[in-house]
């Protein structure tokens, strides 16, 4: 029998066939939640559970209980007072309950027709007219009751719970859940009973009704403990892999030269002695730079501890060896402060310092780019403009990033790729004035070596911090007058309101007008993010030079501004700031020998009192000026997000583990990671891929 001829396919038909089917709204919503793989769905755990395994009789119910009842619909009506609503009366044989819906569809009316037998679950409210439920979840009474608690998952718009439950269940069935923990590693995990990953996940998605809800919700159940231990192990393995991979990379060997070197001449020229802590961290950095593998070090020190001079001394080691150094800061004001200091220290010693920023005139920028490309600029200081494509270094060997948490992964990786020789990596020195709590350093910064400047230079005055209500604003302005009469200067900081530059500007402008009127004869300056760069520089120049008595500013002065004569900082609406940001702002005063103060001016708005979190933050600020204690409390109050900044570019690498509550599991993971990587590298690879997927890069920059 002859074969039928093949159908001829037109190009248009071929294109149509090849085009992927359009994704539905729920599918797009799943991707928005990063639920792309079966394992992602299996690891998408419930926020809470609903008990639909039993029926409660109304005669035995208590007011305020969330309960499931079953009965026959005896009445239904659409009422219009006080607003349109569907009222359904359900009788379970012992009593009646009115189900009230303000939003409803014809299909619901049909499903709740008189004579239908249904189940309803919701909060029971008593009253003069009997039991009611507001917007209960309803379903037909046919079929068996479930044997497990019903999971309620974190979701987003266009992703109904029913769809998400089916997707998670399907992902859980398909996911490859064999154990990646070898017996010798699992044995060191002191959890009894020791659940397998498969057992833990199946249980947490569908727990039996006899389990303690408290243990499920506070994540102390053994199934939760197993998941948290695996998650922390994945993070530690990823960090350890990153550190070991870097061991095989090559970096320029930069050694401290002897007498007459730029390093020695800068030390001799400094108008102050280094503290013991500064000398210690300088030695740690010098030791790293002398290695042929790239340094990856975090320099942490409280505000005013002298990190910039440590960076300058590291740069001199680099330039002594004939290589270039780049210093990148997140804001132009901070970059400008660094530039001024470094020029003051280094140019008298014959070093050419280049300046790169997004606001530069084309002619100046072109000249700077040529200096950098020819290698005539030994040190390059700037903002993110330093990493733009047209910036070509002749031989970059050291990259210094200040306030590193303010930069994203891509930006840090871009700076690392600025060497001409692809086989050579620059040394990386990252700096932060937000001290890292120990548990955070052990987890998110485990791939870094950490140096700490834990003492302030001598002669710094302690800062007295006062928490003051907005109602005492006039007293605060009177205090400002007193400081000005003594020849001192004052900061007044206004908050960024809901990330809105317009509101931010209005708030600062109104405060500037108020203080200008209240302080006649005093030059009151205004600084905010929308001002032209030249205008910002002019304002800062007047304040730094002492001609300006009061500077009203938004948070652009958070870091980098150094005016020893400024002795009073007023932070308006202090309750809106994060704790680390308040500490950074406070660090702008107390930089000289005169007594300094910080006034945290708070407003309760329409509320009768401050919220719990805001009160805890302000209390912490009043009680301590120790940046490490501030950091510890900030971690307790808000979790790790603020410390990490853009390190993860928004990807929360720890979804389940809590660094405060689960420190014992973190300690186990730190010990288990090298053992597993050395003896079971294939299992380690599978473990990291399962838990982190493509997000491992976030930990490598």
> Do both 481 and 528 map to the same domain?
yes
Shortest CA distance to 185 belongs to which of 509, 539, 639, 668?
A: 668
- The verdict on 387 and 323 lying in the same domain is yes
Instruction: Return the minimum-mean-pLDDT range out of 141-150, 193-202, 244-253, 624-633.
Output: 624-633
Confidence (pLDDT) at 132: 96
Mean pLDDT across the stretch 359-374? 90
93 confidence band (pLDDT: 50, 70, 90): very high
Structure-block tokens of residue 665: 């599991």
CB 10 within 8 A of CB 137: no
CATH code, domain with 578? 3.40.50.300
pLDDT tens-place string over residues 527-554: 887 788 788 888 988 998 999 999 998 8
Q: How many domains does the chain fold into?
A: 3
CA 38 to chain centre: 27
Q: How far is it, in rounded angstroms, from Cα 55 to Cα 698?
A: 48
pLDDT of 610 reads 78
Cα–Cα distance measured from residue 40 to residue 692, given in angstroms and rounded to the nearest whole number: 10
Rounded to two decimals, the pTM is 0.72
The pLDDT, as a whole number, for residue 407 is: 58
User: What CA–CA distance (Å, rounded) separates 288 from 295?
Assistant: 6
Phi and psi, residue 312, nearest 5° = -65, -40
Q: What's the CA gap between 697 and 653, in Å, rounded?
A: 11
Q: Are residues 474 and 597 in the same domain?
A: yes
Burial class of 417 by CB neighbour count within 10 A (0 to 12, 13 to 18, 19+): exposed
Residue 27 lies in a domain: no
What is d(CA 334, CA 340) in angstroms, rounded to the nearest whole number?
Answer: 10
Domain for residue 363, yes or no?
yes
- HEC states along 321-362? CCCEEEEECCCHHHHHHHHHHHHHHHHHHCCCEEEECCCCCH
Say whether both 484 and 404 belong to one domain.
no
Q: Are residues 470 and 425 part of one domain?
A: no
Whether the CB-CB separation of 226 and 191 falls below 8 Å is answered with yes
Among 229, 221, 235, residue whose Cα is nearest residue 668:
229
CA-nearest of 211, 44, 645 to 404 is 645
In a domain, 102, yes or no: yes
How many CA atoms within 13 Å lie on the side-chain side of 228? 23
427 and 482 in a single domain? The answer is: no
Backbone dihedral angles phi then psi of residue 504, each to the nearest 5 degrees: -55, -45
The Cβ-side half-sphere exposure at 240, using a 13 Å CA radius, reads 20
359 plus 501 within the same structural domain: no
Place of tokens 């308006």: 572
Q: Provide φ and ψ at 372, rounded to 5°.
A: -70, -45
599 three-state secondary structure: strand
- For residue 643, what pLDDT is reported? 52
CA 389 to chain centre: 27
Whether 194 maps to a domain, the answer reads no
Q: What token pair was written down for 496?
A: 């960024």
CATH number of the domain enclosing 129: 2.40.50.140
Which of the listed residues 624, 658, 684 is the one where a domain comes to its end?
Answer: 624
49 vs 55: CA distance, rounded Å: 16
* Cα–Cα nearest to 124, from 64, 165, 74: 64
Predicted confidence (pLDDT) per residue in 431-475, tens digit: 888 777 777 777 777 778 889 998 878 777 778 999 999 889 999
Q: Of 601, 624, 647, which one is at a domain's C-terminal end? A: 624
Q: Do both 408 and 492 map to the same domain?
A: no
On whether residue 35 sits in a domain, the answer given is no
pLDDT value, residue 530: 78
| Residue 79, domain extent | 54-145
The per-residue pLDDT for 501 is 47
Instruction: Output the pLDDT for position 611.
Output: 80
Strand bridging mode 396-402 / 427-432: parallel
- Tens-digit pLDDT profile for residues 600-635: 999 877 666 778 888 888 999 999 888 878 887 887
The answer to the question of residue 669 being in a domain is: no
Q: Are residues 535 and 475 in the same domain?
A: yes
User: Which H/E stretch holds residue 133?
Assistant: strand 131-134
The structure tokens listed for 516 are: 């200008």
Report the pLDDT value the prediction gives residue 14, as an integer from 0 to 100. Answer: 47
Q: Which of 453, 488, 513 is the last residue of a domain?
A: 453
Pairwise pLDDT comparison (694 vs 57), residue with the higher score: 57
Flag whether 49 is in a domain: no
Q: Are residues 337 and 484 in the same domain?
A: no
Cβ atoms of 443 and 659 closer than 8 Å: yes
On whether the CB atoms of residues 455 and 302 are closer than 8 A, the answer is no
- Quick one: 427 and 543 in the same domain? no
pLDDT, position 357: 87
Q: What is the 3-state secondary structure (H, E, C) of 9-22?
A: CCHHHHHHHHCCCC
- Please check whether residue 122 is in contact with residue 133, taking contact to mean a CB–CB distance below 8 angstroms: yes
Residue 196 within any structural domain of the chain? no
Task: Determine the Cα–Cα distance for residues 624 and 463; give it in Å rounded to an integer.
Answer: 10
Mean pLDDT of the chain: 85
Q: What gap in Å lies between CA 629 and CA 636, rounded to an integer?
A: 11
What pLDDT is recorded for position 536?
Answer: 84
| Residues 172 and 40: beta-carbon distance below 8 Å | no
- From CA 279, how far away is CA 287, in angstroms rounded? 12
Q: Are residues 403 and 483 in the same domain?
A: no
């Amino acid at each position: 029998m002859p074969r039928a001829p093949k159908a001829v396919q037109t190009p248009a038909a071929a294109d149509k066939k090849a085009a992927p089917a359009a994704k539905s709204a729920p599918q797009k919503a799943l991707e928005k939640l990063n639920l792309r793989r079966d394992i992602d769905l299996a690891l998408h755990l419930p926020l809470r559970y609903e008990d639909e395994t039993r029926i409660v009789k109304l005669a035995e119910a208590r007011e305020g209980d969330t309960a499931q009842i079953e009965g026959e619909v005896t009445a239904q009506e659409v009422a219009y007072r006080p607003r349109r609503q569907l009222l359904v009366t359900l009788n379970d044989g012992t009593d009646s309950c009115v189900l009230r819906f303000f939003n409803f569809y014809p299909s619901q009316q049909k499903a709740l027709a008189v004579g239908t037998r249904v189940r309803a679950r919701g909060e029971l409210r008593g009253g003069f007219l009997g039991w009611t439920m507001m917007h209960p979840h309803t379903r037909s009474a046919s079929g068996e009751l479930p044997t497990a608690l019903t999971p309620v998952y974190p979701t987003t718009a266009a992703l109904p719970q029913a769809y998400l439950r089916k997707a998670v269940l399907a992902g859980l069935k398909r996911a490859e859940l064999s154990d990646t923990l070898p017996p010798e590693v699992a044995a060191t995990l002191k959890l009894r009973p020791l659940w397998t990953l498969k057992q833990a996940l199946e249980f947490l998605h569908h727990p039996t009704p006899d389990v303690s809800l408290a243990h499920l919700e506070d994540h102390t159940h053994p199934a939760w403990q197993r998941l948290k231990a695996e998650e922390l192990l994945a993070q530690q393995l990823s960090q350890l892999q990153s550190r070991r991979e870097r061991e095989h990379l090559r970096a320029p060997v930069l050694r401290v030269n002897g007498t007459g070197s730029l390093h020695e001449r800068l030390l001799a020229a400094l108008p102050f002695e280094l503290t013991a802590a500064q000398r210690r961290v300088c030695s740690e950095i010098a030791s790293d730079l002398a290695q042929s593998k790239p340094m990856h070090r975090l320099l942490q020190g409280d505000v005013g501890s002298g990190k910039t001079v440590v960076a300058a001394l590291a740069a001199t080691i680099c330039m002594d060896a004939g290589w270039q150094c780049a210093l990148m800061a997140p804001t132009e004001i901070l970059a400008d402060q660094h530039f001024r200091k470094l020029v003051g220290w280094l140019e008298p010693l014959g070093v050419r310092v280049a300046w790169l920023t997004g606001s530069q005139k084309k002619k100046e920028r072109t000249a700077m780019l040529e200096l950098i490309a020819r290698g005539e600029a030994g040190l390059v200081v700037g903002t993110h403009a330093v990493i733009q494509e047209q910036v070509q270094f002749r031989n970059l060997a050291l990259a210094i990033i200040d306030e590193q948490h303010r930069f994203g992964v891509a930006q840090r990786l871009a700076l690392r790729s600025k060497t001409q020789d692809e086989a050579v990596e620059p040394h990386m020195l990252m700096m932060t004035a937000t001290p890292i709590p120990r548990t955070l350093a052990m987890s998110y910064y485990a791939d870094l070596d950490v140096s700490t400047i834990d003492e302030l230079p001598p002669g710094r005055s302690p800062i007295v911090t006062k928490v003051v209500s907005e109602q005492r604003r006039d007293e605060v302005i009177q205090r400002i007058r007193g400081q000005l009469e003594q020849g001192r200067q004052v900061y007044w900081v206004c908050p960024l309101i809901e990330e809105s530059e317009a509101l931010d500007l209005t708030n600062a402008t109104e405060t500037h007008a108020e203080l200008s009127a209240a302080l006649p004869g005093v030059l009151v300056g205004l600084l905010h993010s929308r001002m032209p760069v030249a205008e910002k520089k002019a304002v800062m120049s007047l304040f730094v030079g002492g001609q300006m008595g009061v500077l009203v500013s938004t948070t652009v002065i958070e870091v980098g501004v150094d005016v020893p004569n400024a002795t009073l900082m007023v932070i308006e609406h202090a309750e809106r700031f994060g704790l680390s940001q308040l500490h950074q702002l406070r660090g702008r005063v107390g930089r000289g020998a005169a007594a300094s103060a910080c006034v945290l001016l708070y407003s309760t708005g329409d509320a009768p009192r401050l919220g719990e979190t805001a009160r805890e933050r302000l209390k912490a600020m009043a009680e301590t000026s120790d940046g490490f204690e501030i950091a510890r409390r900030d971690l307790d109050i808000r979790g790790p997000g603020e410390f990490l900044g853009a390190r993860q570019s928004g990807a929360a690498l720890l979804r389940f583990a809590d660094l405060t509550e689960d420190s014992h599991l973190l300690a186990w993971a730190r010990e288990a990671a090298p053992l597993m990587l050395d003896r079971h590298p294939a299992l380690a690879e599978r473990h990291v891929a399962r838990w982190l997927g493509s997000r491992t890069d976030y930990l490598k920059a």
